[in-house]
Structure 1
């Protein structure tokens, strides 16, 4: 994993984890233990899906930087599809609050994406080959 990939992962995961903690507190206040479980489960899902996706993009594009946009779009599509499948699979679950679960996924996903955009805009990534190859 390159230094930029690690900064991007860390810069996205930390704010998302902070939102997850807030969501678990709010979920507990609103829906009790089921709200806490729903928020915690949703937080783990978002952090796992997006972290694994970021690691995969970093590993795949490390050898072939021209594939970054294709792999980023494919990875994002798979992540959103996976979250949608989870939402449908657990729509009738009774062991956690499904509304807290869905709202936590939404909030954590939006924070992850916003943090990723912020960190990426601050990275100083060269637009040309540093060694001068063409």
Structure 2
């Protein structure tokens, strides 16, 4: 994992974790024990799926940085679809409050994405290769005037 990727992942988690905890506490206050369970499940779903999504993007772009946009859009689309599936599947559950689950999931997921965006915009990532593709002029002159060239 590159240091930039770790900073972005950490920045997203630092923003999303308190928001998810607050959403869980509010769910517990509003809907009781079922709200607490719904908020906790939502927090876990966001942590697992968005954490795995970030890991997948990092893994896909490790050797091919030119595929970052494609990988990011693909992973983000899959994440949103999976969250939609979770909301539909658990909409009629009696194990926890579906409303608390849905609202906590939405708020926590949006805060995760917001944390990623904020961290990406404020990080100082190089977007070019710092290694020169052409030798410096001094190195080129040394190559041309090597002893034994008859110059």
> TM tier, shorter chain?
over 0.9
> What is the aligned partner in structure 2 of residue 12 from structure 1?
12
Question: TM-score normalised to the size of structure 2?
Answer: 0.86
> What is the aligned partner in structure 1 of residue 58 from structure 2?
58
CA deviations on 1:95-134 (whole Å, 9 max, x unpaired) are 1000010001110111111111110011111121111349
When the two structures are aligned, how many residues end up with a matched partner? 134
Which deviates further from its counterpart, 64-73 or 109-118?
109-118
Structure of higher CA gyration radius: 2
Coordinate RMSD, CA, aligned: 1.1
> Separation in 1 of the partners of 2:40 and 2:23?
8
Which segments of 5 or more consecutive residues in structure 2 lack a partner in the other structure? 135-151
> What is the aligned partner in structure 2 of residue 107 from structure 1?
107
- The 4+ residue runs of structure 1 with deviation greater than 3 A are none
Q: Secondary structure at the match of 1:96?
A: coil
Structure number with the higher helix fraction is: 1
How is 1:7-86 mapped onto 2 (pairs within 5 angstroms)? 7-86=7-86
